[in-house]
Every structure is written in C-alpha cells, then in structure tokens.
Structure 1
Amino acid sequence: MKKILLSSMLLASAMFAADTDLTMATTTSTADTGLLDAIVPVYKAKTGVDLKFTAVGTGAALKMGRNCDVDVLFVHSPKAEKEFIEKGYGVERKAVMYNDFVLIADKSIADKFKDKDLKSAFEMIKAQNIKFFSRGDKSGTDNKEKGIWKSILGEVPEKDGFYSQTGQGMIATINIAAEQKGVTFTDRGTYIKYEANAKGNPDLVIVNEGDKALKNFYSVISVSPKHCPKTDIENADKFGNWIISEEGQKFIGEFKLMDKQLFTPDAATRKN
C-alpha cells in the first residue's frame, strides 16, 4: 500500500511539474540581449510557471510552432506571423514591443557611408563589392534585410561575390563581419549587446539608422490547440496577457544594457 501511495504521489508531482512548464520558441535577439533570461525568474516568481525557451531564427521558431514542439512564440517577422495565423497554426498575435534595425560596418570603412541614406548605402555596398554578411537563416532580421535588397535592387544579390550568408544567429554573424572587416544588418538590441561585450569599443559601428522602414516589431503568438491538441493554451495565453500587461510592459521598458533601452513596449499603441 505504501509503495502504491508513494508511486501515486510521485506521479502527481510529475504531472504538476509538467503543468508548470511553458515551452517557447523565440528569436535570437530576445535571448542574446538577455531580455528573456531576465523575464524567466520574474515570471516564475509571479506565476509558478517555468518558461523554457529555445532561441532560433523566426522562421525556425514558426516551424516549431507548426510542428507542435512549443506552446507559444515570441517573434519579429510580421508577414510570416500573419501567414502563420491565417493558416490556423496560431490563435492570436499580440503586439509586445519594438526596436529598430541598423546597418553596421567595420570602423575602417565607416566613412564611406557618411551622409548616405539607406538606399544609397545598399547601392554602394554592391557597387564597391563591400563584404556583406547576411544571416541567411529565414529569421525576422534575415527577412527584413532581404526585403530591403529586393526593394532597392529588385533582387537579393545572393550570387554576387561580396554577399555571404552565415546561416548563424545575429551575434555570430556580427562577429564574422567584424573578423572580415565587413558590413551586416542587425536589430539595435543585439548590437547594444555586442557593444557591451566589447566593453563599449566595438569593431563594428552603426553607419545607417533611423529610416522609417527600419522599425522592428515583436509579437507573441499562442500555438493553436486546434492544430496542436496537446499545446498548453492556458499558460500560453497567460504569458501573452502578462507580457502585454502594465507590469510586463514596464519590465520591458526598464530593461537596459550600458544604460541604453533595448526595446520600447508598444502593446497599448500598436495595431497588429
């Protein structure tokens, strides 16, 4: 009888532990910047839920959602996110925050970009065969970068010698661009993290920023229980509601590195 009772208690304990885990697929920038590492203990203290996240490119994160590998997504590729919802993989797309994208280049070539707008900067990269490093991983940043090339040149210069795809995350791609004294395209939050890693003296510096086309919007999406019957929709929705709540938005707004704000909360102002 004691053995049966003990087994029942262990089973109940295991079931309770499973119920307090929430699995998330997210973009590398929310992880690389340290934002999610900061959120996890705060959210667990408040709710008892242990947020377990996997940081990949947005394309891979959405695939994890389609494959029913996670309960919730925290991503930043609006067009791909909307398609995900339209196809029935996700329940609701909730606006969370934004920052912006920036073009960064090695200090030795930074002067080439002086006084150039976004279009002129990309045209010059191609014309002068300046080494450009793309993530090439179908992430939100990769999608945005390729969209800019298409809008300016009509195509992505994937066959040109100056253009390389790393197939890696943002920090790794920045480090490769630095080693090769080239150029890359990144979200500002990850650049600030790179800058902090370099103790304020990075090899790559921002050479183009501020264009209205460079806004970088992040959203949270619960995976649909109709598509994935075993998804923890209750806890996924609770996390989504917390991250857009006054408490969650305040936490995001106050999250800084080098006394610089990495993300701007916009749940109350953005219309998805």
Structure 2
Amino acid sequence: MKALSTGQFFGETNSLIVLDGLTITDTEYTHEKVDWHYHEKPYFTFILQGRVLEGNKKEIYQCSQGSLLFHNWDDAHYNIKPPGFTRGFHIEINQDWFKNYSLKTEQVQGSISIKNTGIQLLFYKIFKESKLDDSVSNLTINTLLIEVLEKIDSKYKTEDKFIPHWAKTLKEILHEQNLNDFSLPCLAKLLDIHPVHLSRCFPKYFGCSLGEYIRKIKIKKSIGMLSDNRSSLAEIALEAGFSDQSHFNRCFKENIGTTPMNFRNLLL
C-alpha cells in the first residue's frame, strides 16, 4: 500500500503553502482511480469543484462541491473520479500543531464526512485566505482552523440520541427543498411543533438562528456556481435564492469575508 508524504496528492498541484505546522495544497485530481493508500499526517479534504468517490474500510463517500472530509492518522482509503474536472483543497496538520494549541482529535478516529454547513463555509474562508497569502493570512488560517476543530469536537460530544426527530427532519427539508417556499409557521406545521418552540430551540441544534442557517445554505449553493464564469452574479444570486444581487453581495461578504466577485477571481 502506498504511503504519501506531506504535500503529496494524486494529481496536478496548483499551489502548495507551508505555514507553522500546516501544509496547504490546491490540487486538480487527474487520476480516474487511485488504489488504496494513506497519508502520514491527519488532514482535511475539501472539494472545491467536481466530484469524487472515496472509500475506506467502513464507508463510501460520494463527494461533490462543498464536501468536507477529515482523515486521521494512517487511515487507508481509495478514490474514484468520474469524468470531468475535479479540484480538491487539503490541509495537512503536524502533531506539534495540535500540541501548540492544546487540541486533541480522539473524538474523530478514521475518516469522517463533515456535513455541517457552517464548518464548510469556514473552509471557504480558509481557502480565500490561502489565496490572499498576505501578512495576516497565517494568523487568520490558524484561527479559522481552530474554530473548525472546536466545532467538530463539540458536534461529536453531542450524541444523535439527544437530537429530536424534528431537528433531523428539518435539516433534510432545508437542504433538499426550495428555501423560499417556506415560512416559520409553514415549517412548524410540517414538523408538528409550535413556531415559537422551533424558533427558540433551532440555535441549540444548528448553532445559529433559522434565518442565518438558510442564508448559509444559499451562500454555499452560490459558491458552487461561481466557478462557471458564463453565469453573471445577478443570475447566480437569483438561482441561489436571493432577492437581488445587492442582498447576495451583502450576505456573501458577511459569511465569507469578501465579495462574490473577489471570491470568483480567487477561485478561477
């Protein structure tokens, strides 16, 4: 079984940045199939564009734009890439980095798929900082990555049995339906709970208000369209569910820290 050294991935490397204890790689995947292998350090894989299938001894992940995986030490896996362009963003982490910030990863053994929209948006912010690469990028990336790991740790300390059925159902509804079709009373009726209870308890299970969460979903959807420069920002805004481009620009900057146009330029 092949062991990959730090900064090594199967494909064409667009960029490689080494910070204090972190190796950040932007890679175009070029191999249709990659046999079983593992990496010498724990790392994140974030799919910027395209699709890839990843399998390990326990699970198979169908990854698309915005998918985020965390791989712990020496976790063996394989990859299959469908036809088309696929691009991944990786952060490999030295053991000393965890020690310096008193962070532990016992909660996340092996490989895990991180489906939290808020955490995925944090990775877009990390990607943005890696492309800016200015005097404060190191500080900002470290701060954002610590926030990511703390949110993951918090998630795994909260067992699913404590999450009510209505919250799980609501997450499916919000991610699979047209978000503009729902109001608070409508959602509450679908879930058979009181609107006040829904509004009050939502942050406990989603980490933000209902309105903020819906905006995050829209922003993630819009980022998936920014890499296609045939679509105007006004078209993307409407397709993602924003009322107009001005509202889109404002929400995007609040969540990602830059405008959609600037992020499109960094992405392309």
Q: Do they superpose with TM above 0.5? A: no
What TM-score do the two structures reach when normalised by structure 2? 0.26
Pair member with larger Rg: 1
Pick 1 or 2: higher relative contact order, CA cutoff 8 A, min separation 6. Answer: 1
What TM-score do the two structures reach when normalised by structure 1? 0.26
